[in-house]
Structure formats: C-alpha cells, structure tokens
Amino acid sequence: MTTATPAPGGSVPPMPEYTPKALRAAMAARTPALLPDFDAAWRQQIADAYDIGPVPAFMARWWGEYALARDPELDRRVNDLEARAAETTDAEAARKLLNEASRIRHELRALEPGE
C-alpha cells in the first residue's frame, strides 16, 4: 500500500506538524501514492461528520501510515514481515512475524512532529 519517495540524499524526512492539513501536505510531497486512500478516508470518516470525535483515530492511523511510507527501508521490512506471515503455515511463526510488524507500526505512531 505504501510507496515512498526518499528525501534528497536518501534520508528520512521529518514528521510534519500533527494536523490533517500538514500531514496531507507531507504526503503530497513525499508519499503521493497514499493520497487517494487518505482523501477517500477523510471524505468517508471526517468530511461529513458533525463533530470532531473521529479525528484523533483518523490522525493516529494516517500518521502511522505516513511515518512508515516515508522510510522505504522500514516500509520494505514491515511488508516483508507481513508477507512472510501470510505465507507461513506455522501459526506461532505467523504470530511472531505479525507481532514484530505491529510493534514497528505502534512505535511509528508515537513519533512526534520533527522526528
């Protein structure tokens, strides 16, 4: 699902401000492949809402998606873990692989702007 464009010099760009507008702008600049899904989710979950209740969950999800997509090496690692889990017939091995992928995703969601 994720496709990243590395920053010049191959470094991982810093996280943007923690706002939907700043996150979308960062996606447009660095991970444009995420935009169609981001925009569709925004329209479905937020745009027609009469309260801001869903915004924190929306931001948590897409903050993590962008954090992963902006780092091509880490993105490949998580995709590999998930693919290996899907292919294995050993339930314990699949659980360990998915736990590692989940741990990485949760750590990324904890990143602060500028990190």
DSSP run (H or E) holding 17:
none
7-61 pLDDT tens trace: 445 689 999 999 999 999 999 999 999 999 999 999 999 987 788 899 999 999 9
Read off the pTM: 0.84
Confidence class for position 3, pLDDT limits 50, 70, 90: very low
The pLDDT tens digits for 26-37 are 999 999 999 999
What's phi and psi for 24, nearest 5 deg?
A: -65, -40
Quick one: three-class SS letters along 38-103?
Answer: HHHHHHHHHHCCCCCCCHHHHHHHHHHHHHHHCCHHHHHHHHHHHHHHHHCCCHHHHHHHHHHHHH
**What pLDDT is recorded for position 47?**
87
Q: Which amino acid is at 70?
A: R
